[in-house]
Structure 1
């Protein structure tokens, strides 16, 4: 164990650390301590997740916890390490990458299974390249809030336990202040970990990594009769299915990841690495949320195809283990059926349709064309449609469209379909599927501006709304309203 500058080890009541990733061997990581930050302070805390991790309440509220989750004090039993990986960035092979500003502390055993804790923004590592290893306040607040927003929406994601800040200066486009996010996930292994060992022809290490992932997270791959009992092809198929389902959920809720590089793709089908993300305001399949994405590679409407391209790269990396190219291609093939099936199912739920019928896809596609043509606010449309089905008049929904005659024609078709919607009231399903609150860019920006002044009430308020996004939250309607005009000028880039 390499403790940081403050060599005191915090016993942290109830924390029993395991270090299974560290057991893979030093080819996979570098052990090193976090770099301390001066005079840290709390920016945001997630008590609900702390309880899930079975953290002691008093300790989580203590100065010792603040120091530990800033990287200033080592937690007894943890082994801070930065892992090495490679990857394709914006479609181009970038070579060796790695945890350039993140350190894995280890994993905790929880009622939900093992959960890894990682500090993001904890200082330089051997994989930082030209970076400073730090994260800034604005991006850290956004990741903290969005992780929990996605969790509440039912979308597979890494979680965020807390954010700490420091007035230590960090240079980006301008001088900003430092922050550290404590991220939580069953594993932070990425497609890029496999690409790294395949590209360097370290096939023994590639097998060790694949066996670790299979035995820990995909044990059924060992007993499959598919692919002639090949567990590595079965792994590729399982990852493809999880990734397809996750991206279908992104598309249904209007989420743009913004930087779908292979090193940002989770082997568990989790949403990870919240950088230049955005929830759509107006519905536009061509929307690009990442100001750094000058060619629009990661536009909202391109995300499903990019995910498949990334899986193809994973398949190439696993080929030395799979053995036959035909097996690898066969393992990728289900993506082409899983994604459309999952997407249609999510969209049917948004329409309150409990069962599938012929013509549903045409109903969905015609609606999306209307939303695109009239640039309708995506989240507000679905919530208003839900209330209309619950008994409110259609006027508030119609007001969103320029071509009201076209919408009226669609609404008539939809109303006819609702007569055969299946068991239960369609509005009940719709109101549980179509959120009132999502983390729009302007809401995050408002919370960030307050946080810069050491007022963290905006972070706390947004967290409470986003953790219950389907509830009405009386008195908070402004957070569910249309974005202000200035919201379109917010630029979110890879710089954080």
Structure 2
């Protein structure tokens, strides 16, 4: 068992004094079903996250105890827990599914830390619930480790995300494409409420259940809106803007979610539910990371529009909260939805300017940036490493731009673009060293590439965790040079460039 060292954490709470509550459960049983986790056989800790433990004010020494393993495997209760599975619906690949729910996730409750922050503790893979449909309620090592790694990777890139406290593996067989072994993660987030929670009650005509759910979210996470007559509209506006900004961050990082169903969309603007996600290696604007999505509904270049469509589903579901008059409510809803394109454009423009080292705003910037992205797309140049190399370009016309030229296939097009870029930099009197430092602080050197995750998975399935530990150390400092880990920045070898991931991942 491995626990990452973090000397900043002081002993605070043990497992008996976490002060666990389940405020969601107080909404009433129309919103969930009571369940109990199903025990695992011979559970073992693969990894525990001291950064997340610090969010809970939990003494990291607790992570090394057998009791911790048994609790977060689902084999014994956590003091104060009130385990439930929540019910929701959703649009999956554009098709309406009238009832879904937590099919393999069990919400234990919330912990409020000394800073006043509230954190859900949710066991994912802990057994069947009333919403498992034909599933077994389990997760496997492969999918659990992918989620564990992704939460840390995105968080340290500055992208809002759920995270995980622990990853526990066991001997129980689980049938997927092949027989794999069971695992459970303890997923941690301010909330796991989804767009689909509101879609469920709207679709059933149970509009009276929308306001209590919305007010729970507002009181817990938007307290500045609590009690205001316009609180529901202002909350929906905030969710719309947060969603637009989240997807702009995905695009800027070359991240593809893979399954942007409305039941996988967070009402807090968090990256939620990691399945067949992937960071782009060779840049393809139409990249589809999920081989269960042959039509490319959730391709990289479609993610912004899907985010907009998903927000329309949430706002439609909440129209009864906006006004008594249906026409007035619809008008308010449309106004809220219209916030998305501007919020996305503003966030995307700000992020791209930063990635290109541009301080000032000029009208021609989008065209300049898009010309460079077209270069990457045509030659399938590595997205992350090409943008990182851009920081090495100097303003002087005689600069050879060696590092960048090594990444680009169409050098003639690059040589036509570079003078315009340098002229743009000179227009704002850009300093090479200062600009490079800024660019390297927002263009990562290290991302969670699929082949790196697969290597950690292969070792974990053999019972080891050293590669998981090493990879996490790298991903927690994605913008640093880390010369001792330079191999983790390289493009995948030819034989590992097309690792398939699907909805079972």
- Normalised to the residue count of structure 2, the TM-score between the two structures is 0.92
Q: Deviations over 1:51-98 (max 9, x none)?
A: 222111221111111111111111101111100000000000011000
For the Cα contact (< 8 Å) 2:109–2:120, is it kept in 1?
A: yes
Q: How far apart, CA to CA, are the structure 1 residues paired with 2:274 and 2:116?
A: 23
Mapped contact 1:354–1:422 kept (Cα < 8 A): no
| 1:441 paired to 2:465 | no
Matched, 1:489 2:466: no
Q: Which residue of 2 aligns with 1:62?
A: 65
Aligned length: 483
User: Structure 2: where are the runs of 5+ without partners?
Assistant: 1-12, 324-328
Q: What is the SS of the residue equivalent to 2:289?
A: coil
Cα distance, 1:422 vs. partner? 7.2
In the TM superposition, what is the alpha-carbon distance from 1:420 to its structure 2 partner? 4.1
Structure 1 unmatched runs, 5+: 1-9
Q: Which one of the candidate residues 135, 152, 171 is aligned to 2:175?
A: 171
**1:22-421 superposed matches below 5 A:** 22-110=25-113, 111=115, 113-221=117-225, 230-323=230-323, 324-389=329-394, 394-421=401-428
8 Å CA contact 2:123–2:187 kept in 1: the answer is yes
SS at match of 1:475: helix
Deviation at 1:421, TM superposition (A): 4.5
- Matched residue of 2:318: which SS? helix
Q: How far does residue 316 in structure 1 lie from its aligned partner after superposition? A: 1.1
**Closer, same or farther: CA 390–20 of 1 in aligned 2, 3 Å:** farther
Instruction: Write the distance in 1 (CA, Å) between the matches of 2:502 and 2:36.
Output: 28
Instruction: Please list the CA deviations of residues 7-41 of structure 1 after superposition, one character each: whole Å capped at 9, or x if unmatched.
Output: xxx97143111211111111111111110101011
* Secondary structure of 2:108's aligned partner: strand
Give the match for residue 438 of structure 2: 429
Cα pair distance change 1:404/1:99, threshold 3 Å? same
Separation in 2, partners of 1:112, 1:482: 42
Conservation of the 8 A alpha-carbon contact between 2:89 and 2:98? yes
Q: Distance in 2 between matches of 1:483 and 1:302?
A: 25
Q: Does 1:451 align with 2:460?
A: yes
Secondary structure class of the residue paired with 1:146: helix
SS, match of residue 351 in structure 2: helix
**Contact map agreement 2:395 2:426 (CA 8 A) in 1:** no
Deviates further, 410-419 or 426-435: 410-419
CA contact (8 A) 1:266 1:272 kept: yes
CA distance 1:76–1:377, change in 2 (3 Å): same
Q: Give deviations 1:413-470, integer Å, cap 9, x for gaps.
A: 1122222447871111111101111000000001111111111111111111111111
Q: Secondary structure at the match of 1:164?
A: strand
Q: Which moved more, 1:310-319 or 1:353-362?
A: 353-362
Distance of 1:11 and 1:142 partners within structure 2? 28
Write the deviation string for residues 234-281 of structure 1: whole angstroms up to 9, x where unpaired: 222111000000000000000000000000000000001000000000
Deviation at 1:321, TM superposition (A): 1.4
Query: Retained in 1: the 8 A contact 2:16–2:79?
Result: no
CA deviations on 1:168-218 (whole Å, 9 max, x unpaired) are 100001000111111111100000000011111111211110111122222
Contact 1:389/1:426 (8 A) holds in 2: no
Offset from partner CA, 1:127-164 (integer Å, 9 cap, x none): 00000000111111110001011000000111111111
Q: CA separation in 1, counterparts of 2:401 and 2:29?
A: 62
Q: Taking structure 1 as the reference length, what is the TM-score of the superposition? A: 0.94
Stretch of structure 1 that moved more, 64-73 or 215-224:
215-224
Contact 1:33–1:81 (CA<8 Å) still a contact in 2? yes
Aligned-residue RMSD, C-alpha: 1.8
1:83 and 1:223 mapped to 2: Cα distance?
25
Question: What is the alpha-carbon distance in structure 2 between the residues aligned to residue 16 and residue 353 of structure 1?
Answer: 47
1:328-377: CA deviation from partner (whole Å, max 9, x where unpaired): 00011011101011001101111112232221111111111111111110
Local SS of the residue matching 1:419: helix
Question: For the residues of structure 1 that align with 2:265 and 2:376, how far apart are their CA atoms?
Answer: 29
Moved segments of 4+, more than 3 Å: 219-224, 387-393, 420-424
